């Protein structure tokens, strides 16, 4: 696949007790594709595991990419394998950058709110805004001070624009949107990434303050997948098979049971790896990847999580 890159881990550093920073360069030493703030790459951890991680290096840098990866105790195998197995000198397969979380560089002021490992795309955004001479505030929220990663770098490079909020240091240290976000000026945009509960709180607080939806930008790392609903039939056009998808069963699972393999990664409708074309029928979209307009077209579906509103769904697979 032309969208894949062979990369070497040239640096590995623990940024906190559970966050590792990996620096990646092309195996042949050639420049990496340019990326913009908010972009992520897919990392092929092993033959069966592909995971997405935000780039937190300086946008425009082509010598190396940098990732910050949390060792998540609820990991489905990706982050734990990276922490326990990958080391300097190892070669890994990565994708070219993909950006579902772009910055609006026309904003007069940007508020960046990262919760935990959600700080990683915010770091790249802060570098882009600083380079462009834009006004911004970087809010870094963690439960405990010991969990703060990249602290020395952030303090050095962003100075007073950085505000670190640690729950264990008392109420005065915690983020307070009512005071920290300021008035809902039309020229201000808010960006948030992190645990779902944190992001939901940031977005609902912003709306209560009067910020409009077009001023609020977000990217989920994980989401709860709704697998409820009645069963339906999938016709795999290319494979010539008609397959029943049971209640609570994903389309990917039903296809796999019949020997039809679809590449998946996040399995939560976030990354778009499993998108296939819809030839007939009406999808029940449950992903976070397709835009509202793309969902309205009903000609694509994320088969890891979405279902069908029609009794039969014909897929180009």
- Mean pLDDT, rounded, for 44-52: 85
Q: Which of 82-86, 111-115, 289-293 has the lowest mean pLDDT?
A: 289-293
pLDDT digit string, tens, across residues 170-184: 888 899 999 999 999
Q: Which CATH code for domain 232-315?
A: 3.10.20.30
Placement of tokens 């000198």 in the chain: 89
User: Which CATH number, 1.10.1740.10, 3.40.50.80, 3.40.50.1970, 3.50.50.60, labels domain 109-220?
Assistant: 3.40.50.80
* Cα separation values, 293 from 99, 219, 298, 299, Å: 17, 18, 9, 11
Architecture of domain 4-95: Beta Barrel (2.40)
pLDDT at 2: 63
Query: What is the reported pLDDT for 1?
Result: 44
pLDDT in tens, 55-71: 999 999 999 999 999 99
Look at residue 223 in the predicted model and tell me its pLDDT.
Answer: 65
Please provide the average confidence, as pLDDT, over all residues in the chain: 93
The pLDDT of residue 299 is 96
Domain locations in the chain as residue ranges? 4-95, 109-220, 232-315
- Do 66 and 21 touch, CB atoms closer than 8 A? yes
Joined together, the tokens standing for residue 91 give 């070669």
**pLDDT for res 15:** 96
Q: How confident is the model at residue 72 (pLDDT cuts 50, 70, 90)?
A: confident
């Amino acid at each position: 696949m032309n969208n894949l890159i062979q990369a070497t881990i040239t640096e590995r550093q623990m940024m906190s007790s559970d966050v590792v920073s990996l620096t990646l360069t092309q195996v042949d030493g050639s420049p990496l594709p340019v990326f913009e703030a908010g972009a992520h790459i897919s990392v092929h951890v092993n033959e069966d595991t592909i995971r997405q991680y935000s780039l937190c290096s300086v946008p425009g840098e082509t010598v190396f990419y940098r990732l910050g990866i949390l060792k998540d105790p609820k990991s489905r195998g990706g982050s734990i394998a990276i922490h326990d197995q990958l080391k300097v000198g190892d070669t890994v397969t990565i994708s070219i950058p993909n950006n579902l979380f772009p910055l609006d560089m026309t904003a007069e002021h940007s508020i960046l709110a990262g919760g935990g490992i959600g700080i990683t795309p915010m770091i790249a955004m802060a570098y882009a805004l600083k380079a462009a001479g834009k006004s911004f505030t970087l809010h870094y929220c963690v439960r405990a001070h010991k969990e703060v990663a990249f602290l020395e770098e952030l303090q050095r490079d962003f100075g007073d624009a950085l505000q670190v909020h640690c729950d264990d240091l008392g109420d005065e240290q915690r983020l307070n949107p009512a005071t920290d976000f300021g008035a809902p000026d039309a020229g201000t945009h808010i960006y948030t990434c992190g645990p779902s509960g944190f992001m939901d709180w940031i977005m609902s607080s912003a709306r209560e303050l009067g910020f409009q939806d077009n001023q609020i930008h977000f990217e989920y790392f994980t989401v709860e997948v709704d697998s409820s609903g009645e069963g339906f039939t999938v016709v795999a056009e290319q494979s010539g098979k008609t397959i029943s998808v049971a209640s609570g069963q994903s389309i990917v699972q039903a296809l796999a049971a019949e020997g039809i393999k679809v590449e998946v990664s996040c399995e939560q409708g976030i990354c778009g790896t499993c998108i296939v074309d819809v030839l007939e029928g009406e999808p029940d979209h449950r992903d976070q990847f397709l835009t509202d307009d793309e969902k309205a077209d009903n000609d694509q579906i994320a088969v890891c999580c979405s279902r069908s509103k029609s009794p039969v769904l014909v897929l180009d697979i």
